[in-house]
Amino acid sequence: MDRLVSGHHMKDFYTGPVVNAELLVVMLEKHGIIAQQEWLDPNTPDDGDLNRLAKVLVPDADYDRAYQLFYAEREDEL
């Protein structure tokens, strides 16, 4: 899904436990991709549950590169 967030077109990149989402945001930033994390259900209380569902959004312009970095099959692992 493509949407406008803080003046930037962003795409959903990952949905899952916040513990994974936070790590993914850091890893994307190490590759120069500024990602944004938000709660899947913002009405759920923030009680410190690391399994609470979150989404990671990446700029539309960086989506393909992010996908290649984290989801594409790696030929060098064969």
pLDDT digits (tens, 9 = 90+) for 4-27: 666 679 999 999 999 999 999 999
Looking up tokens 């700029």, which residue turns up? 59
Would you state the pLDDT for residue 7? 66
Helix axes 63-70, 18-30, angle to 10 degrees: 110
The residue extents of the domains of the chain are 2-72
pLDDT digits (tens, 9 = 90+) for 35-74: 999 999 999 888 888 999 999 999 999 999 999 999 887 6
Q: Does domain 2-72 have CATH number 3.40.109.10?
A: no
pTM of the model: 0.82
CA distances for 65 relative to 13, 30, 53, 75, angstroms? 11, 13, 24, 16
CA distance 67 to 74: 12
